[in-house]
Structure 1
């Protein structure tokens, strides 16, 4: 299935529901051939979208991500497993492979297949499929660890992956976890070095009310700087965020359709560097990256935890994008948090 592929087993959901639970766009759901899925993913115009396909294995559905790894993210697995179970196996020949098992929103096992660590009740299954910690430097048991992790997933789920799952046409969709997963730790401002350190210290010293007010004001400022202030639905969402009552943004809402455009622009800017670098000007790419910083701040400011909302909203102030950051703005934000 390729050098990078993620397989996510989801119990009790049909293929369409499993794709939607993983952030699939409802309007992108349809049956596609494997070649068509690849063509969609390689499209500069489409923004190199993340695609996933799903098949029915009976009691479980299997979601396949060619060249993808969303299913290996613990935050997404917690969302997908609410009220059910999920098992994920990631093959990634250029980074780290991964195995995870989640039940009703909690990760009950997670490890790198080459160095498995699992709770006691799973140890017999690990022994059964031959997953074990290497005994020394000369032990090459890690070489087939991903295959053994897939065997473990099949033992847990009781289903079997077809030898060539892409042989038949499969229901597929563009997936975007942004709409179903809360702000990740990587979206939050952190660190002790300037300029992050002074901002983090100011946030941590502020009251919850001040944290929330400054967070919302900063996201409004970013929207204005990027020419997005009049986006339909944005003002309403930020008013709700100011009171801590904002819910997630729906992908098919008026605001959600704009967020989808912003996310696509960011992905296009990054992925085109590998194969179509000259299709965008430097200014276009910088603006697209700015949209990425903004969408992370926007999702973060919706967090019911005011400190996390502030740390997400202020993170663009540490970027190198002139439209988002300025020493005078950082000073004003610190003043607003500490006075």
Structure 2
């Protein structure tokens, strides 16, 4: 299998065509419509959306767009959320990956926290903030450390080590190494099949800090 590298995703660096807030989610085990239906208990109006429609919704929601776009690529479905992050939520990943599926989500958020998460069969296996890859959680937080290190996401990173360069591009390359699938800029251009999330999957109850294992 090809060893994908951060340079494969250099097209999204800077502000890039995807802008500064987005989530890309790789879903295995569901087709495009099944994926959209699992994003929300009441996902309606599955249809093609244009760029203008998505940007209009971004303005209506004051920067928190609730439209999920999908593209079927080989045996994976790839979702793209412009200025959205539902795919990065563990509750959504649990729903998308239940019954033997797999989900890999990469969330870029230049004004909050980035996120990489890999879930299998309803459970998060490995998750971390690409800015701080030394702080990982999940059922097997060390499963991906060899590829992480090779991609520049140092699993033993320290604050004294400074900023990690190309952390989002490296996270997308890590997603490609897991899935075997390279996503290109052309794959994420509108019009795309999509749906507006009508009802969000509820968040899990907050666990008291002393009992929290993440």
TM-score, normalised by the number of residues in structure 1 = 0.50
Give the match for residue 51 of structure 1. Answer: 67
Are the counterparts in 2 of residues 24 and 173 from structure 1 also a CA contact under 8 Å? Answer: no
Take 1:99 and 1:66, find their aligned partners in 2: how far apart are those partners? 17
The aligned residue for residue 130 of structure 1 is 152
Distance across 2 between alignment mates of 1:35 and 1:67: 14
Residue of structure 1 equivalent to 2:14: none
Distance of 1:183 and 1:126 partners within structure 2 = 29
Residue correspondences, number: 183
Choose from 139, 142, 167 the match for 2:162: 139
Ranges in structure 2 where 5+ consecutive residues have no aligned partner: 1-17, 210-214
1:73 equivalent in alignment to 2:93: no
Partner in structure 2 of residue 32 of structure 1: 49
- Aligned-pair Cα RMSD in Å: 2.4
Could you tell me which residue of structure 2 aligns to residue 102 of structure 1? 119
Higher relative contact order (CA 8 A, sep 6+): 2
CA contact (8 A) 2:23 2:107 kept: yes
Tell me, yes or no, if the aligned pair for 2:36 and 2:195 is still in contact at 8 Å.
Answer: yes
Q: Which runs of 4+ in 1 moved over 6 A?
A: none
CA contact (8 A) 1:76 1:177 kept: no
- Partner SS state of residue 187, structure 2: coil
Q: Deviations over 1:217-268 (max 9, x none)?
A: xxxxxxxxxxxxxxxxxxxxxxxxxxxxxxxxxxxxxxxxxxxxxxxxxxxx
The unaligned stretches of length 5 or more in structure 1 are 192-339
- Aligned equivalents of 1:111 and 1:61: distance in 2? 22
**Greater strand fraction, Structure 1 or Structure 2:** 2
Q: CA deviation at 1:164?
A: 3.6
* 2:181 paired residue number: 159
